[in-house]
Amino acid sequence: MSPASRRFPPTPPGSTRRRLAGWLVVAILTSLALAALTASNLTVRLDNILYDRLQRASGRPVDPSILIVDIDERSLRELGSWPWPRAMHAEMIDQLTQAGAKAIVYDVLFSQPAPYPQDDVALAAAVARSGRVYLPQFIETDTPEGAAPNVVTPLPEIAQGAAGMGLVHVRFDPDGVVRRMAPFEAEGPNLAPDLMTVVHRATKPFDAPDATRGPSPTLLIPFAGPPDRYRHIAFSSVLAGEAPRELIEGRTVFVGLTAPGLGPAFPTPVTPDAASMTGVQLQASMLDGLRSGRMIRPAELPIRLSFALSWLWLLLAGLLVLPPRANLFLLAGLSAAALAASAALFAGAHLWLPPTATLIGLLAVSLVWGWGQLGRVHDLLNHELARLRPHGASPAQGFEAGFESDLVARQALSLGAAISRIDDLRRFSADALFSLPDATLVADAERRIIAANAAAQALFKGSPQVLEGGDLAAALNALKPLGRTFPPAWPVEADGGRPIDLHLADGRAFQLQSVFRRDETGGDAGWILRLADITPLTAAMRQREQALQLLTHDMRSPQTSILALLATTPGLPADVSERLAACARRTLALADGFVQLARAEVTQAAMEPVDVCDVAAEAVDELWPQCRQRRIEIDQAECETPIMVQADRGVLARALVNLLGNAVKYSPDGSRISVALATVLDGGRTFIDIAITDQGPGLSPEEAALAFRPFQRFDRPGPDAAGGAGLGLAFVQAAATRHGGSVRCESTPGRGATFTLRLPVLG
């Protein structure tokens, strides 16, 4: 017996509820722990390491409109030691303005008066003439705790001509690295803009995005790479007129200290050492990020919680339904997906979602659940051994006796011995099941497959997983039957024994039958399903239908042509023309009757609730012209209230027309035909009898017995007695059989005949 055909023992009572309860406890506790970890700063350093790697890997072109004028070692050698006279700064501003600089960010603080007042006057005049100079402000770091921050600003006479001023305040992360800027800083009860916020808003196009207007109090700087990637030129070169106009024209020019030891330098994610990015280079990187729209927003706490908990609950769902090995792959996949999602949001949406807390949460819940599952397996082994132990035997006399002292090994060996014993008891039934020629499935009361014979395994070889404890409905849906989907609760006991035809996309066809079985106590034991291959039968029926269509077409077309020629060809003798027309009409009637009979016998009926009285009235109306011509009256009785049956309306109407047509055909002119309906009880079921009685010549008992055979005709006098094909009554019998009913004939020669169609009443 294969593993797919072995029935697994039931779980201990309440085991499923305990497992769900344990899972829920683990889910709630780990969710709370992960939420607390996400809200804390415990994983900031690990997140920063990952952020720095992403930052270094996401290189991009720098903004070509940014130019840095370096106050570097060369300029100090050529122009003298720092600080320089302010007249020199005034000359620099004039040259940059004349060269067409779009904006001049002068990263030098002129907060103290110059030794020579005329220098301050010259600098203030140059700033005012330019109208494009932006000056920094600084917040003193030695402000007493609790006191309002002291903002250091340029001299009023210099500041009043500036295009704008803003704070230059560097924010350090806990590890001492500069990764972010604040578009606005608190200045007492007010907010003071950062210098780059001022410059960006003043120089950006009207419809350009502005990250400084967002809700985030800080923004992460998207460094384009090392600081030397920006175009730069020495201060002394510009002052000496060596800079071409096209180098400066239309650009935002930063002027600042870059000489080593002259000004502050800051560690950043893209600098190789702890102090290699100067303040002016940092300011240029901020403006570059603002202009490019790539400033990275740190995710708010609700978003971080949703991100972390969504991955956690995906893993928890997998832990509940997947086997341990699959959960290991699920853990690895979700961890990789969380990292990838964080990196994708960083690169594509410019949003930083730290993933470290999520990864720690995933690993922690896997460990907690894994240890819990080991304990559950131990309890399950104990339960199964107690259940399989022979009745009345003590543990020392059961399967545990004689095995090694290790508890887990003893339990495993004992369970193996018990399973082997059960396998021996089931071998005979399994062999009998596997010898069946049709695909057969055995399922328990919960509709889980516990056995499948060789034919079933061959049938489901493309989807073997459906046989390994899968549901019956899922197994059948895996075959992808055309036009049919089985619900999870299928089958139900009422379906037992009712055949269902399944047609597959590859042309195969099966007849499905289910049998519900009970155990010796009368409880639910399960199901047996048989799938009989009816592909050859279906193919034969299809070929029969095709041949039937071809035959009827080939028979009808020449006869129709003959009738058309007879109607349009003059000169033929009347008796010859009439004979030919009669033969053609007889052939057409034979073809129509043959088609109707064949389809009544094999075509799937479209069953629906039908009122027999309405159908009978329609049949009477259809024959009214013939009856009127021959003065025949048809009486219909017992139809005051609707009488419902489950039937194919078209087939039932044709059957009644055939019966009434026979009655009209053999009845003498001026006679009467009665249609009577009566409800009868037969074998515990309720039926409706539709009796049609005529006043024709009648039939002998021998003829009545043969009346429903195909092509059976009896010579009788009557205006319309000749010309029948002998298929009308055969169609009636086929229709009655398809509807679960019957038809009979009662007649006495010379005293008419009664044909009774019996159908089961709906409900």
Between residues 717 and 189, which one has the greater pLDDT? 189
Give one word for 501, left, alpha or beta, with left for phi > 0 and alpha for psi -120 to 50: beta
Residues 6+ apart with CB under 8 A from 362: 311, 312, 315, 331, 334, 335, 338
Give the residue from 34, 712, 19 showing the smallest Cα distance to 383: 19
Q: What is the pLDDT of residue 730?
A: 80
The pLDDT of residue 695 is: 87
Query: What is the rounded CA–CA span in Å between residue 327 and residue 306?
Result: 22
Point out the least confidently predicted range of 291-295, 512-516, 576-580. Answer: 576-580
Instruction: Specify the pLDDT at position 142.
Output: 63
- Rounded-to-integer distance, Cα 658 and Cα 652, Å: 10
CA dist 462 and 480 (Å) reads: 12
Which of the pair, 562 or 241, is modelled with greater confidence? Answer: 241
Q: Give the closest residue to 263 by CA, choosing from 230, 219, 227.
A: 227
Q: How confident is the model at residue 396 (pLDDT cuts 50, 70, 90)?
A: very low
Which positions ≥6 away from 542 have C-beta within 8 Å?
none
pLDDT tens digits, one per residue of 368-380 = 888 877 777 777 7
Over the chain, what is the mean pLDDT?
Answer: 81
| Percentage, residues of the chain above pLDDT 90 | 32
pLDDT at 135 over 80: yes
The CATH architecture assigned to 436-533 reads 2-Layer Sandwich (3.30)
Tell me the C-alpha to C-alpha distance, in Å, between residue 130 and each of 124, 133, 153, 284, 521: 10, 7, 19, 20, 102
d(CA 374, CA 383): 14
Does the pLDDT of residue 146 top 70, yes or no?
no
Question: Residue ranges of the alpha helices (H) in 80-167?
Answer: 86-98, 117-130, 156-159
106 vs 299: CA distance, rounded Å: 33
pLDDT for the residue 537: 77
Angle, CA 220 vertex, CA 219 and CA 222 arms, to 5°: 125
Q: Give every CB contact of residue 256 below 8 A, 6+ residues apart in sequence.
A: 68, 69, 70, 71, 105, 106, 107, 108, 263, 278, 279, 280, 281, 283
Over the stretch 625-649, which tens digit does the pLDDT of each residue have? Answer: 888 888 888 888 777 788 888 888 8
Omega before 573 cis (within 30°)? no
The answer to pTM > 0.85 is: no
Answer whether residue 37 shows pLDDT above 80: yes
| Type and span of the H or E element at 586 | helix 574-602
- Per-residue pLDDT band for 459 (boundaries 50, 70, 90) equals confident
Q: Give, in words, the CATH class of 605-760.
A: alpha beta
pLDDT at 363 over 80: yes
pLDDT, one tens digit per residue, over 506-517 is 888 888 888 887
d(CA 735, CA 397): 68
- Mean pLDDT, range 681-685, rounded to an integer: 84
- Six token digits for residue 143: 């402000």
Query: Is the pLDDT at 399 greater than 70, yes or no?
Result: no
Task: Give mean pLDDT, residues 697-721.
Answer: 72
Check pLDDT > 60 for residue 594. no
Helix (H, G, I), strand (E, B) or coil at 698: coil
Q: Is there a contact between 384 and 417 (Cβ–Cβ < 8 Å)?
A: no
pLDDT in tens, 311-346: 999 999 988 888 888 888 999 999 999 999 999 999
- Length of the chain equals 763
The pLDDT of residue 591 is 59
Residue 716: pLDDT above 50?
yes
pLDDT value of position 214: 81
Let me know how many helices (H) and strands (E) the chain has, helices first.
23, 27
The reported pLDDT for the residue numbered 401 is 46
Query: 287 versus 717: which is more confidently predicted?
Result: 287
**Selection from 616, 673, 606 nearest residue 643 by Cα:** 616
Selected residue with higher pLDDT from 114 and 462: 114
Q: Does residue 171 contact residue 178 with C-beta atoms inside 8 Å?
A: yes
Q: Quick one: pLDDT at residue 580? A: 66
Give dist(CA 233, CA 170) in Å, integer.
Answer: 24
- 216-248: per-residue pLDDT in tens? 899 999 998 888 889 999 999 999 999 999 999
Which SS3 state, helix, strand or coil, does residue 352 take? strand
Scored b (16 or more CB within 10 A) or e, 596-615 reads bbbbbbeeebeeeebbbbeb
pLDDT in tens, 307-320: 999 999 999 998 88
Give residue 577's pLDDT.
66
Mean pLDDT of 441-449: 83
DSSP codes of every residue in 709-759? STT------STT-TT--S-HHHHHHHHHHHTT-EEEEEE-TTS-EEEEEEE
User: CA neighbours within 13 Å on the CB side: how many for 386?
Assistant: 8
Does the pLDDT of residue 727 top 60, yes or no? yes
Of 112, 113, 123, nearest to 86 by C-alpha is 123
CA gap 328, 325 in Å, rounded: 5
Mapping DSSP onto H, E and C, the string for 605-625 reads: CCCEEEEHHHHHHHHHHHCHH
Look at residue 621 and tell me whether its pLDDT is greater than 50.
yes
E-strand ranges in 366-521 read: 439-443, 449-452, 500-503, 509-518
Q: What is the pLDDT of residue 8?
A: 43
C-alpha angle 585-591-597 in degrees, rounded to nearest 5: 130
* Residue 102 CB neighbour total at 10 angstroms: 16
The two tokens of residue 81 are 């030691």
Q: Show the tokens assigned to 456.
A: 């079933």
Per the listing, tokens 């849906």 go with 477
User: Please, which pLDDT band fits residue 552 given cuts at 50, 70 and 90?
Assistant: low
Alpha carbon of 283 to those of 200, 263, 510: distances in Å?
A: 11, 14, 76
CB atoms within 10 A of CB 630: 17
Six token digits for residue 103: 């904006």
| Calpha distance 727→595 (Å, rounded) | 10
CA gap 345, 356 in Å, rounded: 15
Taking the C-alpha atoms of residue 37 and residue 174, their distance in angstroms, rounded to an integer, is 17
The answer to which of 50-54, 148-152, 495-499, 586-590 has the lowest mean pLDDT is 586-590
Q: Write out the two tokens for 322.
A: 């997947």
> 167 by DSSP, 3-state: which?
strand
What is the predicted pLDDT for the residue at 224?
A: 86
Looking at the predicted structure, is the pLDDT value of residue 1 above 50? no
Tokens of 55: 């930052």
Percent of the chain's residues with pLDDT above 70: 76
